[in-house]
Chains A and B, each alone.
Chain A
Amino acid sequence: EPEVTQTPSHQVTQMGQEVILRCVPISNHLYFYWYRQILGQKVEFLVSFYNNEISEKSEIFDDQFSVERPDGSNFTLKIRSTKLEDSAMYFCASSPTGWDSPLHFGNGTRLTVT
């Protein structure tokens, strides 16, 4: 069964540094998402992406965050200047047709900001 793959599985970075989290969605899916989960807390929506542009974003997704689909397969989340509170598990997800189809999640990238 096709899977959403995320790399790296764990990223450690220093405060103020830029990080790029990478995702390869399922190939025939059209909608892509980033969610995050701070340890012990609920999963929170960050951004959705369709047709090469952001379709929805949450209040968390401020100017420090950006997303890109640089080629036909990758979907990236960039955090420009990381803060301690950005430490979390970041999940990429994709779905074939948007809200009316199930989201398939990757295994997540654990980001630790020191």
Chain B
Amino acid sequence: AQTVTQSQPEMSVQEAETVTLSCTYDTSESNYYLFWYKQPPSRQMILVIRQEAYKQQNATENRFSVNFQKAAKSFSLKISDSQLGDTAMYFCAFINNAGNMLTFGGGTRLMVKP
């Protein structure tokens, strides 16, 4: 069974600074996708970024980038130039072709301070 672990329950960062959220996962599959989802206080689940396991290049989306270390089964999210609107719960998630379901980590609550 796949597991996703987020070891930081809460983090805070000053506005305009950079923060990195950690995620590790465990799987025996070689073909999979990893995601970061953002859940603001409105509780909506918003896709932030997606990484395909067979791509070595780290995904980037504007101020969001990942550090994907396949051998170490690590998938961290870096948020540059943090904004107040980035305050949210962030979930790391995993999916592969062995089961058509997302497995989520426990989440990291990020607070961006002015």
Contacts and interface: CB of A to CB of B under 8 A. Distances in A.
To the question of whether A and B form a pair in one complex, the answer is yes
A104 B102 CA distance: 12
Contacts of A100: 33, 97
Interface residues of A, number: 28
Contacts of A75: none
Contacts of B50: 102
B16 interface: no
A58 B91 contact: no
Task: Give the secondary structure class of A's interface.
Answer: strand
Interface string A78-93: 0000000000010101
Question: Which of A37, A41, A48, A110 gathers the greatest number of chain B CB atoms within 10 Å?
Answer: A37
A56 interface: yes
Nearest to A9: B43
Contacts of B96: 99
A60 B106 CA distance: 17
B84 interface: no
A71 B72 CA distance: 45
Give the interface SS of chain B, mostly helix, strand, loop or mixed. Answer: strand
Contacts of A99: 33, 95-97, 99-100
B33 A91 contact: no
Contacts of A91: 45
A42 B106 contact: yes
Interface of A: 31, 33, 35, 37, 41-45, 48, 50, 55-56, 58, 89, 91, 93, 98-100, 102-108, 110
18 contacts: A31-B100, A33-B102, A42-B106, A42-B107, A43-B91, A43-B93, A56-B99, A56-B100, A56-B101, A89-B43, A99-B95, A99-B97, A99-B99, A100-B33, A102-B35, A103-B47, A108-B43, A108-B44
